[in-house]
Amino acid sequence: MAHQYGYVEVITGSMFCGKTEELIRRLRRSVIARQKVQVFKPVIDSRYAYSKVTSHSGVDFEALPINSAAEILQNLKPEVTVVGIDEAQFFDDSIVEVVDQLANQGIRVIVTGLDTDFRGEPFGCMPVLIAKAEYVDKLNAICMVCGEPASRTQRLVNGKPAHYNDPIVIVGASEMYEARCRRCHEVPRD
């Protein structure tokens, strides 16, 4: 069943806060409602399964891995009314135009992505997607140091906090990242 109008939902927060799990929950509800769903993920994210979006807890949903945002439009099936896009921060800035175009066509677009990088700074296209979305949910994880709500992603290199000048994008999971609160998040600059 088609929507009366399209709109954009963004699910954001640090690593390990449940973004992908929430995406999958919403997608499954759409399937139950007999809506036609299609999911895309960046090909760079091959942590758990190549052709699935997978939460850290192992919940998954079929997805098409793509190299660029333009491939969403190229591969979109005509009957689709709900599009899921996981790990949007890894796409180029044209993802914003693609998401807008989908919503303008009457499609419900559900996007997940890290709002900040390991340095605690806005990550890629996410600030613009958050600003343009009709609905935004910012989830928190649990700080691995003190147990308080965590809104930051801590990258670790050999057990120590990554340096500010390290590369922004390094795909990984619990072997190199932790959720941290503002107080416990560390980014050395010297």
| Share above pLDDT 90 across residues of the chain, in percent, rounded to a whole number | 81
pLDDT of residue 190: 77
In this predicted model, what pLDDT tens digit does every residue of 63-120 receive, in sequence order? 999 999 999 999 999 999 999 999 999 999 999 999 999 999 999 999 999 999 999 9
- The fold adopted by the segment(s) 7-139 is Rossmann fold (3.40.50)
- What is the domain partition of the chain in residue ranges? 7-139
pLDDT of residue 178: 95
pTM for this prediction? 0.92
Active site residues: 87
Q: What is the average per-residue pLDDT within 162-170?
A: 90
User: How far is residue 56's CA from residue 16's CA, in Å, rounded to a whole number?
Assistant: 7
Q: Which residue has the higher pLDDT, 126 or 45?
A: 126
DSSP secondary structure letters along 33-53: TT--EEEEEETT--SS-TTEE
